[in-house]
Amino acid sequence: MSRSSSIHSGDGVLRRPSQYVSMDRLNDRLAVMSGYGATPKGGVNRQALTAEDLQAQLQLIRWGAELGMQPSSDSAGNLFLRCEGSDPSLAPVLSGSHLDSQPTGGKFDGVYGVLAALEAVNAMQDAGLNPRRSIEVVSWMNEEGSRFAPGMMGSTAYADPNSLSEMLLVKDAKGVSVREALSLIQDGLREIPCRSLGGHPHAYIEAHIEQGPLLEQQNAVVGVVSGIQGKRTFRVEIIGEATHAGTSPRSKRKDAILAAVRIIDALANRLHDGGDIVKFTVGRLIVEPNAPSVVANRVVFSIDLRHPKSAELTLLGDLILPFCEINARPCSVSLTELSNATSLEFPDAIRDRIRSIASTLKIAHIDLLSAAGHDARYLHKVCPSGMIFVPSRDGITHNEAEYTSAEDLTDGARVLADVLGELST
Ligand SMILES: [Zn+2]
């Protein structure tokens, strides 16, 4: 029995799963999936825990059955298809993404990662490979967060099972709770065995469309995702004094607008780097009383700060308060942090593996950072994780016009197949 992800055929030629990835099969399955929740404009409306989502899950289970894969689902509505390895006691390799979409979503966001993983398993079987570790294709519940906010519920609950109880209470616009919607899905999947929530996989790899323009601009087909950018958001409130623009002496004024200008200018200079890595944005400014001849007595503005390295994001975000205090005088200022999502970097070992496989396959690739969140953000907490991006035409996504060519989708699946082959060996 071969214990390698690549084997030598009779003529001594190295055989890898990527050689058995089928463009037709992958694209036929994508076309079938885009029929579940198809919109008149060629997109998809397959929101989480709807009848369309259930249909897509049942279709995935049927395809898995053809490959001898065992389905199971957990209490968070995540669906798994297991291809048993020669040593079932080993931690499995997970790969997938999500089947749900935005209300006017495209045919590729999420579903591509699930079907690319299925294609990788199919290719490994066609190659006659028998990996040691089991491979599990996964579809995470409610990644998009359009029907039930926030998104990435299934992967969050998988990484932290204690978070599920609160999620179940979330309601959609019609007042239906996640718990109620989930029970309808579970009823439709009653033949499928339940598994306990959570786990400690050997690794997790997610293929996804880029949802940005960088691959296309740089003529690359595969993106080796370095990490997911973190973000801190703040509200700054400055309190001054409303006085007459003609009679009040300048030296005695507490001008909230001038204080805001000083603070924003100081921060924009400090939170700037030569490489354009730090992203600092003041996108909203509210002035009171907002009258041409009155010195402003109150200004509120927003800060959106992003950096790919968590330590830097923390350091830079923590500079904001002292800068506000120094520059607000003689006004008073208060700073409120609204959110703090840390940046993450995927492990070098996973990134190196993806990069070297793309090189071996002669597929043009670049390293890039994901500016958007993905399920891999949460899997990163429980196992070594990584992501493979393929191009999005014109960077368009969450849109019915979302498009990636069949060739690019296939190249991404070929890289994924060999990565999963190596990780499961
Ligand atoms: Zn997605």
- For ligand 1, the distance from its centroid to the CA atom of residue 210, given in whole angstroms, is 9
User: Which whole number is the average pLDDT over 160-175?
Assistant: 95
- For ligand 1, the distance from its centroid to the CA atom of residue 263, given in whole angstroms, is 37
- For ligand 1, the distance from its centroid to the CA atom of residue 27, given in whole angstroms, is 18
- For ligand 1, the distance from its centroid to the CA atom of residue 70, given in whole angstroms, is 24
Domain at 17-228+344-424: CATH architecture:
3-Layer(aba) Sandwich (3.40)
Query: Residue 45 corresponds to which tokens in the numbers above?
Result: 């409306």
- For ligand 1, the distance from its centroid to the CA atom of residue 152, given in whole angstroms, is 9
pLDDT reading at 8 higher than 70: no
DSSP helix/strand/coil, 164: helix
- For ligand 1, the distance from its centroid to the CA atom of residue 144, given in whole angstroms, is 7
Of all residues in the chain, what percent carry a pLDDT higher than 70? 97
- For ligand 1, the distance from its centroid to the CA atom of residue 207, given in whole angstroms, is 10
When mean pLDDT is compared across 191-200, 217-226, 366-375, the lowest value belongs to: 366-375
pLDDT reading at 55 higher than 70: yes
pLDDT reading at 311 higher than 60: yes
CB 169 within 8 A of CB 178: yes
- Which residue, among 200, 194, 197, 201, has the nearest Cα to 73 in the 3D structure? 194
- For ligand 1, the distance from its centroid to the CA atom of residue 402, given in whole angstroms, is 12
- For ligand 1, the distance from its centroid to the CA atom of residue 375, given in whole angstroms, is 8
In tens, the pLDDT along 250-264 reads: 999 999 999 999 999
Confidence of residue 151 (pLDDT cuts 50, 70, 90): confident
- For ligand 1, the distance from its centroid to the CA atom of residue 110, given in whole angstroms, is 4
Cβ contacts of 237 within 8 Å, gap of 6 or more: 298, 299, 300, 333, 334, 335, 336
> Where along the chain do its domains lie?
17-228+344-424, 230-341
- For ligand 1, the distance from its centroid to the CA atom of residue 334, given in whole angstroms, is 37
Confidence of residue 2 (pLDDT cuts 50, 70, 90): very low
pLDDT reading at 168 higher than 90: yes
- For ligand 1, the distance from its centroid to the CA atom of residue 166, given in whole angstroms, is 23
pLDDT of res. 6:
54
pLDDT reading at 7 higher than 80: no
pLDDT of res. 310:
87
pLDDT of res. 1:
38
pLDDT of res. 101:
96
CB 242 within 8 A of CB 361: no
| Long-range CB pairs of 35-39, under 8 A, 24+ apart, other chains included | 37/101, 39/104, 39/400
- For ligand 1, the distance from its centroid to the CA atom of residue 105, given in whole angstroms, is 10
In tens, the pLDDT along 68-78 reads: 999 999 999 99
pLDDT of res. 240:
98
Q: 230-341 in CATH: which number?
A: 3.30.70.360
User: Which whole number is the average pLDDT over 191-205?
Assistant: 97
* Of residues 330 and 341, more confidently modeled: 330
- Which residue, among 155, 158, 123, 134, has the nearest Cα to 86 in the 3D structure? 134
- For ligand 1, the distance from its centroid to the CA atom of residue 225, given in whole angstroms, is 14
115-to-61, 110, 322, 361 alpha-carbon distances in Å: 12, 9, 50, 20
pLDDT reading at 375 higher than 80: yes
Confidence of residue 11 (pLDDT cuts 50, 70, 90): low
- For ligand 1, the distance from its centroid to the CA atom of residue 74, given in whole angstroms, is 20
- For ligand 1, the distance from its centroid to the CA atom of residue 165, given in whole angstroms, is 24
Confidence of residue 342 (pLDDT cuts 50, 70, 90): confident
- For ligand 1, the distance from its centroid to the CA atom of residue 211, given in whole angstroms, is 9
What value does the mean pLDDT of the chain take? 94
| Secondary element (H or E) of residue 223 | strand 222-228
pLDDT of res. 396:
87
- For ligand 1, the distance from its centroid to the CA atom of residue 209, given in whole angstroms, is 8
* Of residues 425 and 72, more confidently modeled: 72
- For ligand 1, the distance from its centroid to the CA atom of residue 239, given in whole angstroms, is 42
- For ligand 1, the distance from its centroid to the CA atom of residue 388, given in whole angstroms, is 12
Q: What angle do CA 332, 338, 339 make, to 5 degrees?
A: 140
